[in-house]
Structure 1
Amino acid sequence: MKKLSFFVRRICVFLLFYLLLSPLFSRPVMALSSSVAFQEVVSGMVTDVDGEPLAGVTVVVDGSDLGTVSGLDGAFSVMAGPDDLLVFSMLGFQTVSIPVNGRDAVDVVLEEELTQLGEVVLNAGYYTVSEKERTGNIATVKAEVIDKQPVDNPLAAMQGQMSGVNIVQNTGVPGGGFEIEVRGRNFINGGTDPLYIVDGVPFGSQSLGSNDVSRDIVNADISPLNAINPNDIESIEVLKDADATAIYGSRGANGVVLITTKRGKSGKTRFDARFSSSLGRITHFLDLMDTGQYLEVRREGIVNDGFGDFLENPGFASFWPDVALWGDDRYTDWQKVLIGGTAYRNNAQLSVSGGSEGTQFLVSGGFQDQTTVFPGDAKYQKASVRSNVNHRSGNDRFQINLSTSYTHEDNLLPRSDLTFKAYTLEPNAPELYDENGNLNWEDNTWDNPLATLEQKYQSRSRTLLANALLSYSIFKDLEVRASMGYTDYRMDSDKILPSSSRNPSLNLTPQSYSNLTTNASRRSSWIVEPQVQWKHHWDGFGLDVLLGSTFQQQTTSQLVMRGRGFPNNKLIYNMAAAEEVEALNSLDTDYRYNAVFGRVNLNILDRYILNLTGRRDGSSRFGPGRQFGNFGAVGLAWIFSKEGLFSESSLLSFGKLRGSYGTTGSDNIGDYRYLDTYTVTGEDYDGVTVLSPTGIFNPLFGWEANNKLETGLELGFFRDRLFINASWYRNRSSNQLVGIPLAATTGFPELTGNFDATVENSGVELDMRAVLLRTDRFQWSTTFNLSVPKSKLVRFDGLENSIFSDRYVVGKPLSITKLYNSLGVDPETGQYEFEDYNGDGQITFTEDRQWIEDLAPEYYGGLGNSIRWGNLTFDLLLQFKKQLGYNTIRYKAVPGYRGNSSVKLYDRWREPGDMESVQVAASGFVIGAGQGDIQRRSSAAVSDASFVRVRNITLNYSVPGLDGLDVDVYLQGQNLLTFTHYDGPDPEQTINNQLPPLRQFTLGLKIGF
């Protein structure tokens, strides 16, 4: 009976789903039934427009699973009913649907499908270029991909989407930053951030946060890019090689990221609204010891260190309250308590757009409210408004585009990230609150982790971005234009440490402890770029010439203050109430930049293309005589598919060889580094403010140089339904700007200068996209990208005698880490053993850290699939990465110390002869007992951190039959599953004691009318 009941339930469920999904089928249920009842053999021939037979054409009876494939002679036979519809499809040809109409013979002619690759326009910054004719390497992500990801930052939408672009999220807390590398790290002391251009305006990506305020904050690196709403973005292009970046000169050394926002379209006024709600949680908890395991190891460590006789002595209970006072029967999973909550995010976006053929407009606004997984009232709020107006004169000569955006962010967070506490707090630690609901200090035997919730950190950011682009066609082929932009980024943050957040046993009062630290910072910039462009086409010959100039000024200011000794905690936000106020940091800089640039593009017979770009930069960051640098590139392309040999090919629809070589540079060293500089220390001597030297005069250093070489092959098959782009590149960065440390007796910490060092980044990149199947109601397309980077320090004169000898090795990447070589545990002593490289019988920091591991990815990429069936669309993106990373040994290697740790430390050495990978337990009270600090810096702390991640899944349903109303309901998942052998929190964010990226589920609604 149970089996029968189960069977009946299965039948009922099947019928229910069939009835629910039946509207999606192209034919009704009764038609399918009649088709099955009156099937006959239908035969025929499939040919192209020239009459040549086509083999491999898929022939499907619409609405059924019946089908076949045409043979070598183009013939086919299939069972079909008289009223059925036959669907003929083949990669590279247009899909055709033919009704049977009672016939037993059907002949079909398929026409080739033209995807018009030349009409795909890419933004190259100062100019646009078709994908077919580009000579440089430009990767792009469009709005239809960005919109399917529930992210706050544009960089998050790019993860796994592009070859050569490695993006890592620093923290799972809202507002946090990202690390990005475009084809590796080029400079020894420079950053890896590319140049960001938003609607033609440079946008600073560096946070203005201060370490004095945010040293322990969960997201100290608050990203200014959060001010750019991903839902407002039309496309993101990344310029990678010299041909694409050299026109930006020194600013394009680390690549260029071009962000183009959406614009209005002509037509009736349209209103669009988007509402979504998300849930976020930790993806993976560490396997930690339970109370029994922890106390067993803890007591064993105390005994091993010779304190066993004192364990039962009440006079020594305060030394080990976890063992003597808290009890053996208490257990709390602190990961669930401190970081196991649910983060909620609600997002609303409204926009109105429209206009005439001459003038279009778009106005949009958005609001987001988000919480964290931490306990307490931490939250992140963001409100933004954006407007865009385009106008073209009646004679099409004059054009103007005006865009403005303003974003306000408010981030309220606990002062410290609770993640490290969640991993290390004793499993038998006391309750968080006492019976009266107050913070429990358990007779002053521990520091309650929730006390940090009273030590609040708050940041408020305001970002204004404005741009105007004017152009006028003097003649048919001659156009002058000017791009003008202004950005203003302000960040005010503060941190409070009230006395009530500390253990009462310290007897702290507001007057003696409470303090407030504030950071008021601002970065504003204006830019003007006049340009002139002349384009002309003759028979078989095209010439495009662009000349322009750049004038930019950027000012940055920052004031960090600290007040101490408040009358009470209620006045702690009032700096005027403090007994003592000091300036921790004061900064006021002015950066000026100007340049001239140009481009000459030759196109011969639409198949031979030459692209020349150049720029002369001037920067205020260098001394007299060193302020200007020249950069340029040459790009070549040969569209060989237009040669006579390939013109008749039905297989190869597009083929191009391209190559480029050029030089970019960098002045990314900060302002005033060539001058004698000083800073206020916040101290005084006999009533006089003390100045501390921070830089020494050196006007001789100059521009860093980055020489880029690339070759590429682009192939399109079956009328570009299958498109492959393969690239090889080599970047060599020389004349490295490095802060050379000086002896303390000089009074200066370092001297900025050029080192005769060369860094090389090379690699292979592969991008592929394909339309696997396309019918009237069904389409399946896929994308794939793969990056295999290589990096090495080619030369560094005098490296052995410099302070960098401990960090770098000639012939190895900059991303290496030097470690001790762990040999495991001595089975007789139970202590960790390490390789003694110099054979002196001692393990020393300099001589014996010779084991080298490279923590940069060996390869990485992404695989995306998009399937549309009627009104239902399914998208899936898989991200993968082959790499090494720090494991849990990195932060704790010795069992028995106070504080919880990985359960792997439970399997430890106990007696002579044991063959274990973990040393004997120790209490932590004896200095030098065990080799834990060395083990944490050894090869044992590095392991495989490769992964395959379900980065994004989207299921979207477009509701049909609503006249004049577009309604989409969607379900999105971000960071859903990660397949890895890595045992840490997250394989991409290996052991940094910060909250890992969250798994998110989003339910949303889009309405347009």
Structure 2
Amino acid sequence: MKVYKFLFVCCLYLGIIPADAKSEIRFLNEEATLMMEASEGSSSGIQQNKRKISGKVVDDATGEELIGVTIAAKGTQDGTITDVSGNFTISVSNGTILEISYVGYKKQVITIKDQQFLNLRMHSDNEMLDEVVVIGYGSMKKSDLTGAVISANIKDFEKSPNTNILQSLQGTVPGLNIGQVTAAGSSPSIQIRGKNTLSGSESVLIVLDGIIYNNSLSSINPNDIESIDVLKDASATAVYGAQAANGVLLITTKRGKTGGTKVDFSSSYTISSPTKNLRPMNRQEFLDFTKEFYYDKAYMGPDYTTPNPDFNLADYLPAPTMLDSSQPDGISAKDYSWWDEGTQTASVFENRLSVSGGSDAMSYLISFSNTEQQGYLINDDFSRNSIRVNLDVKPYKWLKMGVQSFASFVKQDGASPTSLSLIQQSPMIEPYDEEGKIVPYPFNTVATNPFMQSDVNDKERHNYFFANVYAEVQLPIKGLTYRFNYGNNYRIDEHHQSNEYGASMKGEAYKHHTTYYDWTFDNILNYSAVFGEHSIAATLLYGASERKESYTSASAKKFLRLSLGFDALESGTDQFVESNAWSEALLYQMARVNYKFKDRYLLTATVRRDGFSGFGENNKTAIFPSVALGWVMSEEEWFKIGWINNLKLRGGWGISGNQTSRYKSLSKTNVDPGYVFGDGGETENAQRVTTMGNGDLKWEKTAGINLGLDFSILNNRINGSLELYQTTTRDLLYDMTIPTITGFGSVSSNIGKIRNKGVEFIITSHNFTTRDFEWSTTFNISANRNKIITLFGKDADGDGKEDDLTSSNLFIGEPISAIYNYQIDGIWQLNDEIPTGYHPGNYRIVDTDGKEGITVDDRIILGKKDPAYRFGIMNKFRYKDLTFSFFINSVQGGKDGYMQANSGSLNRGDVNHRLYNRISEMGADYWSPSNPNATYARYSQAPTINPTRYQQRNFVRLQDITLGYNLPKNWTKSVGIENVNLYVTGKNLLTFTNWKGWDPEAGQDYNGRPVLKSFTFGLNVTL
């Protein structure tokens, strides 16, 4: 028994057995009985009414005693946990409500009457396995999945200041790669399991409430979204056939639930600033920077560190506007911050209201949200008002129908100056003259004032309308249903602008109007039945879709007056009009069968046929099959490993496609000036054929295999999954350059083969679970490698050199993102033996081929832009009504991955290199004799070859942190409020990286745009 005691204590310490934080653990005699002291506030009278009762807790299915089960008296701090034999003792009075809880089992509630002994049998809680996952044209229990499908964790990020739902997915799903955003209302990049194409579509397929959604996700209120399921492998994505090679996101919005009316209101305010506190050089820094440019004149040799008393800096400033003869040194005394003028405190203010409820006959959800976002650059504003109505009705037992709909109205009025243009302006020049008018050309060069970009009348609106109307009929055959989805998606874009500085200061204005519309009509037959130990679910789909867009533009230049702006284009001297339109159509059929035997043997088989108008006349259709198997080993009778609750093996193979743009298979023409008839005659336009048609153009096809392992152990305390996959994409879409003697410049073709392979792992651990305290951890990691196998027939295992497309950076046997350039080994110094054609301050290029001199043959594969691996860690804590969580996100490049150009070399002979300002941190990192270990090259003479410098973007980021508090229920219910939650969140608060620039994840160097860190204060109220 001593051994049991020792193991029991270890388990308690490690959290494998839950214990209340206020428990006092005592071992009595040979039994390890744990008792909770009575709460300090208990009165003596109440204590006298209490009596001791005992009991035993066992597993309902196996009869095994359960150790560490929490037995707590509701509304008090009285409680205990079971010992090594499942026994417990507790002091209670009649009427006490006992709550019995244990990780991996369903919670029980018992009211004490006159019992002396309690025999408690706990039932396993398979809620995790019974969770319903959306799989495309249907849903199924997670326990029955055979493909690589994962539900994203969006609940833990709903309090973050994410105006786009994709921001809530950053780093949380292995294999799903979401980029950063640097502008208000923008959508981040998205990729699933690497790059599968050279020039085909790289877009992940978005499916909203069962309908393919082709508009921006910034149109959707993130608070309206119930779940996001990610289809990653080919066996899962094949149900979407020709559009699914890059993976699928299935977004499901919230609906009303049976019960009384529920009102939710939330409000939050966010303030933001750059993750790095960078600024351009001030006046003195710019002067010192210019002086270092002329180190050979400002200082005396041989080491050029002794100041030259005869050096006059004013003689070397690159623009006369930087000079002022009234000053002793002849240099302007101004020290103006263009950066401060062009930036602002970023913020987000959001208010959301929803009303939901329902009965057996009808359920509803109506929501409204308003988002006002102000970006870091002036006029970088985003405003969104959205309203959603989701309605489900069941007028008869055999009929269910409804609609999921929303309208979103986005305003992005105003134009911002670019961050680079603000950085480059000299601090010794001001943007406005004495009368407060803009100085158009501050340098007296063609470089314009950046505030000419923002001092405009700009109106930009995007109106989105979406509705999916459905009806589901239970047919006379048991288990057979028919459902139709009719989805409509409509968008109106308007961008109007007038600019008095345009057309060389003569004024210009335009009106752009775009309308987009698509419809989808799906007919779906579903059949499900159970025959003894066999169960089957089958789906048949027949559907069609059409997409259309129309664009009209009117513009004018050279205005005498722009007082009416873009509303009087006829006032311009030069007037222009432009219009275009396109349409495309798809037709598809799909059949899927899910079969299960004895709840342990699983089969999913799918075949889909797609037709697309954009492909060549000889390849309008293609077929995409898939098959997947699953084996729930833990359900086998011979499986006797007690600490493993669930163990499932999965394997799948399938083919999905990637469609080309709509007119790739056709010959294309350009219209441009072509003829002049007679001397002084007018120029007439000509149409020229530029690309050759290809009637054999077809889909890229991605075939993939996926092996998966799902597990749950230690009474479901730890669960996770492991995925191994390999995909091969054939018939890559690529525009081949052809000899102009043919009369064409290029032709769209199918060439080559790309392979992706990788591994993904996610695990969740419930470290502590008691009545008052919970702590859980989720960790995920993923790695992907891609490689070009063939381009024009040569295999990667062969020679293949003749097939490399060096000009396009495509190499057989290398990643698509391979970096082919010169290797840099520092910077040439004054006393180095510098080869001919190179000078101090130039980058030092490594002679890799061993031949004399640096030539193009010295270029090598330096690495790749893709990362080696990504990982994320989420920790969540709850103590009574207080919650705390933090999420760490990281991307790592390994030896030679996750690289990007970050060059920044400067040549004194280029006047713009001397003219423009720079970020001060960068300016201090350029080479000079006094700064020999600098990062960036700066020189008085240009080298024969000036290479590009690359740097790894590795980072570890504290991406999200949230502290929340639920007001006590007895407070809120006394005023008729169900729940009040107060919270504060932080986003991107800490970033650990060696990247030189604004942000590594966004790939922004010093000339880019900052990523923002944020603090949010919010309130959620439920009535």
Q: Please classify the TM superposition score into its range, dividing by the shorter chain length.
A: 0.7 to 0.9
Match of 1:900 in 2: 918
Aligned to 1:137: 148
Please name the residue that 1:411 is paired with.
Answer: 412
Match of 2:933 in 1: 916
Alignment of structure 1 residues 194-233 onto 2, 5 Å: 194-205=204-215, 224-233=216-225
Shift of 1:70: 8.1
**SS at structure 1 position matched to 2:627:** strand
Give the alignment partner of residue 676 of structure 1, picking from 667, 685, 689: 667
The one-letter code of the counterpart of 2:518 is S
SS of equivalent to 2:228: strand
- Cα distance 1:442–1:759, how it changes in 2: closer, same or farther (>3 A)? closer
Taking a change above 3 Å as real, the CA distance of residues 538 and 316 of structure 1, as seen in their structure-2 partners, is closer
Cα distance in 1 for partners of 2:315, 2:932 equals 37
Q: Please state how far the C-alpha of 1:980 moved relative to its aligned partner.
A: 2.3
Shift of 1:167: 0.6
Letter in 2 for 1:553: E
TM-score normalised per structure 1: 0.83
The alignment's C-alpha RMSD in Å is: 4.1
The whole-number CA distance in structure 2 between the counterparts of 1:232 and 1:298 is 54
Deviates more, 1:344-353 or 1:700-709: 344-353
Secondary structure of 1:897's counterpart equals helix
Q: How does 1:117-516 map to 2 (within 5 A)?
A: 117-141=128-152, 144-169=155-180, 171-205=181-215, 224-286=216-278, 291-302=283-294, 304=296, 312=312, 319=319, 321-322=321-322, 327=331, 331=335, 335-339=339-343, 341-375=344-378, 377-394=379-396, 396-417=397-418, 419-426=419-426, 428-433=427-432, 436-439=435-438, 447-455=448-456, 457-475=458-476, 476-499=478-501, 509-510=505-506, 514-516=507-509
Give, in angstroms, the shift of residue 804 of structure 1: 4.9
1:480 and 1:856 map into 2 onto residues whose CA distance is: 45
Q: 1:283 to 1:29 in 2, by over 3 A?
A: farther
Q: Does 1:576 align with 2:586?
A: no
Shift of 1:660: 0.3
SS at the partner of 2:914? coil
Q: Does 2:984 align with 1:971? A: yes
Q: Partners in 1 of 2:376 and 2:527 — Cα distance? A: 56
Question: Is contact 2:479–2:527 with CA below 8 Å preserved after alignment?
Answer: yes
Aligned to 1:776: 771
Separation (CA, whole Å) in 2 of partners of 1:94 and 1:267: 23
Using a 3 Å threshold, how does the CA distance of structure 1 residues 26 and 630 change in structure 2: closer, same or farther? farther
CA gap 1:32/1:639 in 2 versus in 1, 3 angstroms: farther
Asked if the contact 2:69/2:82 (under 8 Å) is kept, the reply is yes
**Further displaced range: 795-804 or 70-79:** 70-79
**1:673-705 CA distance string (max 9 Å, x none):** 222222444887545433343432210121211
Deviations 1:382-431 (A, max 9, x none): 1111111111133x2111121221111110232532x22454444x4334
Find out whether 1:731 has 2:727 as its counterpart.
Answer: yes
Q: Is 1:566 paired with 2:584?
A: no
* Fraction of identical pairs, as percent: 24
Aligned counterparts, 1:930-945, within 5 A:
930=943, 934-935=946-947, 937-938=948-949, 941-945=950-954
**What does residue range 659-738 of structure 1 map to in structure 2 within 5 Å?**
659-667=651-659, 669-681=660-672, 686=682, 688-738=684-734
Distance in 2 (CA, whole Å) between partners of 1:267 and 1:46 is 34
Q: Does the Cα contact within 8 Å between 2:229 and 2:250 map onto a contact in 1?
A: yes
CA distance 1:443–1:473, change in 2 (3 Å): closer
8 Å contact kept, 2:297–2:311: no
SS at match of 2:241: helix
1:9 counterpart residue number: none
SS at match of 1:204: coil
Letter in 2 for 1:675: L
- After superposition, the C-alpha distances for 1:763-786 in whole angstroms (9 at most, x for unaligned) are 111122233332333333332221
Shift of 1:801: 5.5
CA contact (8 A) 1:142 1:234 kept: no
Cα contact 1:973–1:1002 (8 A) shared by 2: yes
Is the partner of 1:720 in helix, strand or coil?
coil
Please give the alpha-carbon distance, in whole angstroms, between the structure 1 residues aligned to 2:117 and 2:260: 45
Q: Secondary structure at the match of 1:354?
A: strand
TM-fit CA distance, 1:44: 11
Which residue identity lines up with residue 494 of structure 2 in the other structure?
D
Conserved? CA contact 2:153–2:172, under 8 Å: no
What is the identity, as a one-letter code, of the residue corresponding to 1:241?
Answer: D
CA distance in 1, matches of 2:241, 2:937: 58
CA contact (8 A) 2:206 2:248 kept: yes
Any idea what SS the aligned residue of 2:414 has? strand
How far does residue 643 in structure 1 lie from its aligned partner after superposition? 0.5
Alignment partner, residue 619 of structure 1: 612
1:13 — aligned with what?
none
CA separation of 1:740 and 1:921: change in aligned 2, threshold 3 A: closer
Change (3 A) 1:671 1:833: same
Amino acid at match of 1:741: T
For the structure 1 residues 425 and 729, does the alpha-carbon distance in structure 2 shift closer, same or farther, using more than 3 Å as the test? same
Per-residue deviation at 1:521? Answer: 2.2
Instruction: Please report the TM-score for the alignment, with normalisation by the length of structure 2.
Output: 0.82
CA contact (8 A) 2:280 2:339 kept: no
Taking the TM superposition and a 5 Å limit, the aligned residue runs for 1:835-874 are 835-838=846-849, 843-844=854-855, 846-874=856-884
Q: Cα–Cα, structure 1 residues 66 and 960, in superposed 2: closer, same or farther, change >3 Å? A: closer
CA contact (8 A) 1:661 1:707 kept: yes
Is structure 2 residue 985 aligned with structure 1 residue 985?
no
Distance 1:34 1:304 in 2: 94
Unpaired stretches in structure 2, ≥5 consecutive residues: 1-35, 300-307, 677-681, 795-800, 832-838
> Are 2:808 and 1:816 aligned?
no
Q: Distance in 2 between matches of 1:69 and 1:719?
A: 16
Moved more, 671-680 or 448-457: 448-457
The alpha-carbon deviation at position 270 of structure 1 amounts to: 2.9
1:329–1:94 CA distance, 2 compared to 1 (3 A): farther
After superposition, give the CA deviation of every residue in 1:716-754 in whole Å (9 maximum; x if it has no partner). Answer: 113323211111011110111111123455553321011
Given that 1:278 and 1:1003 are in contact with CA atoms closer than 8 Å, whether structure 2 keeps it comes out as yes
- Does 2:1017 align with 1:1003? yes
Residues 638 and 459 of structure 1: CA distance in aligned 2, closer, same or farther (over 3 Å):
same
Distance 1:313 1:123, change over 3 A: closer
- Write out per-residue CA displacement over residues 485-543 of structure 1, whole angstroms, 9 at most, x where no aligned residue: 111122222454422x89xxxxx542xxx223443222211111112122211100112
> How far is the alpha carbon of 1:835 from its aligned partner?
2.1
The letter for the 2-side match of 1:1001 is: F
- Structure 2 distance, partners of 1:42, 1:477, is 50
Higher mean alpha-carbon deviation, 311-320 vs 524-533, is at 311-320
Q: Which letter maps to 1:255?
A: G
Residues 223-249 of structure 1: CA distance to partner in whole angstroms, max 9, x if unpaired?
x21111111111111111122111111
Residue 24 of structure 2 is matched in structure 1 by none
CA distance in 1, matches of 2:463, 2:673: 28
Distance 2:204 2:442 in 1: 53
The 1:77–1:849 alpha-carbon spacing in structure 2 relative to 1, beyond 3 Å, is farther
What aligned pairs does 1:769-808 form with structure 2 within 5 A after superposition?
769-797=764-792, 800=802, 803-808=805-810
**One-letter code aligned to 1:355:** G
Structure 1 residue 985 displacement after superposition: 0.7
Residues of 2 paired with 1:885 and 1:305: CA distance? 41
In structure 2, the residue matched to 1:749 is 745
Determine the C-alpha separation between the residues in 1 that align with 2:45 and 2:332: 74
The AA in structure 2 aligned to 1:737 is L
What is the identity, as a one-letter code, of the residue corresponding to 2:559?
Answer: F
Query: Is the Cα contact below 8 Å between 1:523 and 1:557 reproduced in 2?
Result: yes
